[in-house]
Structure 1
Amino acid sequence: MRESAAERHDRLLALVRERGTARVSELAVRLGVSPVTARRDVEALAGRGLLERVHGQVSWPGGAERAAGHGGGPAAPGGGPVLGLLAPSATYYFAEVIRGAREAADRARARLILRISDYRPEEDRARTEGLLAAGAEGLLVAPGWRAPGDQAEHGEWIAGLPVPAVLLERRAEPGSALDGLDRVSSDHRHGVLLAVRHLVGLGHGAPLLVARADTPTALAVRAGYARALDVLGLAAPGPVVDSVPAEVEPEGFEAAVRALREAVASGAVTSALVHNDVDAIQMVQRLSELGVRVPDDLALIAYDDEVAALADIPLTAVAPPKRLVGRLATELLVEKLAAGGGRGGAAAGDGAEDAAADARRHVTLLPALRVRASCGAVAAETRSEPA
């Protein structure tokens, strides 16, 4: 199976994180790609604030001391806590989550260290143990769950962590051991409802859902779609179309495009919700080649709003508050550490401090809908619909 750009980006970030600083030519050799490809990847990651470029070299943002993900390391500047962040990826969706966490850590004078599971939930525990070995006093945990059963099979250990932990952009099953943990997440069901309601308000019937099934967000979008139809009293125009990455499974992607095209050609649908942005952009391009025009023949909304605005026809998109999720989760973790006595978390405080340390919070943030041209907007000007 050919490696995707996102997987290559994660390998590149891991190499820089291990070394602190690396030359682009060295990265090209280690990644097994051409210098041009390595340079393009570095530019893309630097543009998102995930790397810093200086005279042919790249480094981890904030200097090499931030890159330490193993073997301990110095305490945070200003005596703040050391925070560990486990993420399934450092690109696409989670790039903004990580950026928000880093901004909050900087404001708290905390040191943030990162480890990436690459959506391999069986490796989450070992990666987290590495963060603890590196001195993490509190943890932000976004497990690499992919399938519905991954939480039960690979997640129960999180409830027994020896330091305060906050689940990041993940929801625990009700009644599970993880349901008692602090968490900060986006309400994807609400995001889907915004999209469906908007399309119906434009005069369309229920949109057809085209979605992946390989991440918690994708599964939440699917669940939110069924709920939105129920809330609005709508019937699904057809079965959910299963989507896959075009660069990984081109035949599966083509099948998804043709299923959507047939639904439009038959008159069954005039609108669609597509998860995610990259799939949506590529589908619009392929649909055009097959004679289906967006938005004339098909009104389309993407889910994620990472690159939706950059499409030839700017895509209306549901935008989860990714950066805010990272920021608020980090602020919550810092608060928990401070209320629990700072480093080590064992010191007893007064009654108010004890209450703050013991309280658990489930913070849910609402996505916004960014309205652009792909759903039939009069102009490509972006506007946000209230949640």
Structure 2
Amino acid sequence: MRESADERHDRLLEFVREQGSARVSDLAAQLGVSPVTVRRDVEALAERGLLDRVHGSVSWPRSAAAAAAAAAAAAGGTAASPGGGGLVLGLLAPSATYYFAEVIRGAHDAAAQAGARLILRISDYRPKEDKARAEGLLAAGAEGLLIAPGWQAAGDQAAYGDWMSELPVPAVLLERQPALGSPLDDMDRVCSDHRHGVLLAVRHLIRLGHGAPLLVARADSPTALAVRAGYAEALGALGLEQPRPVIDSVPAELDRGRFEEAVRTVQAAVATGGVTAALVHNDVDAIHLVQRLAELGVRVPEDLALVAYDDEVAALADTPLTAVAPPKRQVGLHGTRMLVERLSAGPHGRAPEHQEQEEPGRHLALLPRLHVRASCGAGAPR
């Protein structure tokens, strides 16, 4: 039976309620209809006050009354009292896809377990917009914030991060480690320990009989920078010398020339016979690298053992890639639980029965895991 417009409206409202906000293109994909149909639906729902529209996207209504009405419409029932319900948590993420999709999923699950509502804003890796996005979450009723800033370059924290130390509500940083001693270093945070993840990869390759691996890595995100720093530390901890400078990686679709330069550098290193292993950040770049190396006669794993970093799509490569998997979903889970605990403890994080004792801040580091697949060859040492 063909879905009615009312049924589609209910699904649309439920999706926006879960996400906090959504783009029209995302809604079209989620509902399985054309963007034109979604725009028509959004216009009708916005006219009824059930959604807010802003620049090609929609969000859950900011006013309590409208939100209650929208919730009732999504549920097919009557509106609940505007004063009822649990906590409202805001999540600012740089992306809703790839790496951060799992972080968001974990935060959503933990919020649901706590009886809280999670609303989402996306910065699209534009750190200049982080503050405005966070203010939007507060205006939408968020009582606490989960923040993964859209930092990319090393100087982005200093340029765009100070506002977080002055927030009027509790906040938890996700997957970001501020500079030691900076105001943001006092904030609660939950992060993957990427140094440990890199050590797992390098140690695995060494145990298979390889020398120190090449590092092929991006430099356009905090994770990429952490992988680079962790690589130097891992080599030092294992008593290894770096075989050659880090090879800068760029997405093939963004700069074909620089990507080809990276591929040729890897090919030359393998051709000399001195390099038999590589660590590549991230999965997508690793898959493109393997494909291009094969065209140049370098086979994985016969000529080059390879470990990818992120483990989002590594298992889907023609030769499934061994990969380091940061605990992305658990970052969202634990960060949300930490925020709920902070909010439940009363003003300034103090438990009502112990107002004189302020709860200490927390920095939680979660350990990545190594998923071994075919790209490193046989499991026994060579």
The interval holding the TM-score normalised by the smaller chain is: 0.7 to 0.9
Partner of 1:91: 97
Which entry has the higher C-alpha Rg, 1 or 2? 2
Match of 2:307 among 294, 301, 307: 301
Please give the secondary structure, in 2, of the residue aligned with 1:79. coil
Please give the secondary structure, in 2, of the residue aligned with 1:301. strand
**TM-score for the superposition, normalised by structure 1:** 0.80
Match of 1:123 among 126, 129, 134: 129
Return closer, same or farther for 1:86/1:69 CA change in 2, 3 Å cut-off. Answer: farther
Return closer, same or farther for 1:175/1:257 CA change in 2, 3 Å cut-off. Answer: same
Identify unmatched segments of 5+ residues in structure 1: 1-11, 31-62, 380-387
Partner of 2:10: none
Match of 2:281 among 261, 268, 275: 275
Partner of 1:316: 322
Say whether 1:159 aligns with 2:165: yes
Say whether 1:168 aligns with 2:168: no
Report if aligned partners of 1:199, 1:207 keep a CA contact under 8 Å in 2: yes
Mapped to 1, the partners of 2:248 and 2:121 lie a distance apart of: 30
Match of 1:252 among 252, 255, 258: 258
What's the CA shift for 1:16? 6.0
Partner of 2:207: 201
Deviation readout 1:99-156 (Å, 9 max, x if unpaired): 0000001111111010011111111001101001101000000000001111011001
Mapped to 2, the partners of 1:134 and 1:271 lie a distance apart of: 50
Count, aligned residues: 331
Identify unmatched segments of 5+ residues in structure 2: 1-20, 40-49, 53-57, 72-79
Deviation readout 1:257-278 (Å, 9 max, x if unpaired): 1111111011231000000000
Say whether 1:26 aligns with 2:35: yes
Please give the secondary structure, in 2, of the residue aligned with 1:24. coil
Mapped to 2, the partners of 1:205 and 1:14 lie a distance apart of: 47
Partner of 2:368: 367
> Identical aligned pairs, as a percentage?
67
Superposed CA RMSD: 2.8
Mapped to 2, the partners of 1:372 and 1:29 lie a distance apart of: 42
Report if aligned partners of 1:277, 1:308 keep a CA contact under 8 Å in 2: yes
Match of 2:272 among 266, 280, 296: 266
Mapped to 1, the partners of 2:232 and 2:349 lie a distance apart of: 45
Mapped to 1, the partners of 2:152 and 2:315 lie a distance apart of: 27
Report if aligned partners of 2:216, 2:247 keep a CA contact under 8 Å in 1: yes
Return closer, same or farther for 1:159/1:19 CA change in 2, 3 Å cut-off. Answer: farther
Report if aligned partners of 1:17, 1:68 keep a CA contact under 8 Å in 2: no
Partner of 2:8: none
Please give the secondary structure, in 2, of the residue aligned with 1:350. helix
Q: Which amino acid aligns with 1:371?
A: V
Say whether 1:284 aligns with 2:303: no
Mapped to 2, the partners of 1:72 and 1:147 lie a distance apart of: 37
Q: Which amino acid aligns with 2:174?
A: L
Q: Which amino acid aligns with 1:68?
A: S
Return closer, same or farther for 1:64/1:376 CA change in 2, 3 Å cut-off. Answer: farther
Partner of 1:68: 59
Q: Which amino acid aligns with 2:352?
A: G
**TM-score for the superposition, normalised by structure 2:** 0.81
Deviation readout 1:260-299 (Å, 9 max, x if unpaired): 1111011231000000000001111111110000000000
Mapped to 1, the partners of 2:101 and 2:28 lie a distance apart of: 20
Say whether 1:144 aligns with 2:145: no
Q: Which amino acid aligns with 1:24?
A: V
Report if aligned partners of 2:125, 2:151 keep a CA contact under 8 Å in 1: yes
Return closer, same or farther for 1:358/1:154 CA change in 2, 3 Å cut-off. Answer: same
Match of 2:353 among 350, 353, 360: 350
Report if aligned partners of 1:140, 1:168 keep a CA contact under 8 Å in 2: yes
Matches within 5 A, 1:181-260: 181-260=187-266
Mapped to 2, the partners of 1:307 and 1:68 lie a distance apart of: 30
Please give the secondary structure, in 1, of the residue aligned with 2:23. helix
Mapped to 2, the partners of 1:346 and 1:196 lie a distance apart of: 40
What's the CA shift for 1:21? 8.2
